[in-house]
Structure 1
Amino acid sequence: MKLSVIIPAHNEVENLPVLFRELDKMIRESGIDCEVILVDDGSTDGTYERAKEATKQYRWLKVAKHGKQLGVSEA
């Protein structure tokens, strides 16, 4: 079974390192085939860029971006 998790984010650059470490730990310990899709909702603090950089370290991470803030329901 494959699990896909969608996480909306807006101006969360400072929270990303902890989020990614905790997700990585959970994914490794569970053994579940998982992908995490972080959707940047028009952030202005570098959230998208930091998340995109993290895809090099975390193979399970995918990143998408809205050009402007659309809200959580659009993720």
Structure 2
Amino acid sequence: MIIFMSYDNALAASKQVVGLLRTEGYKIEYLKVEIVKNKNGFFIEASSEMDPLMAGRFRHLLKEYTKTYRKYISI
């Protein structure tokens, strides 16, 4: 599921979710997070060759973050 948002909100969301992953004990140096521009806005793409479960966990936490802060961020 792709969630489009402004660049500032995408940057803040990615930093928040990476921080959550760090507290859960994941080695985030293996995580590649990109903010991609599309005609509809910006979205966050995450991947990890060393730990694909971490990328899945990132997407899950991002989905929960946007669900929680939907009224505060521009989507």
The interval holding the TM-score normalised by the smaller chain is: 0.3 to 0.5
* Greater helix share, structure number: 2
TM-score (norm 1): 0.35
TM-score (norm 2): 0.35
* Greater strand share, structure number: 1
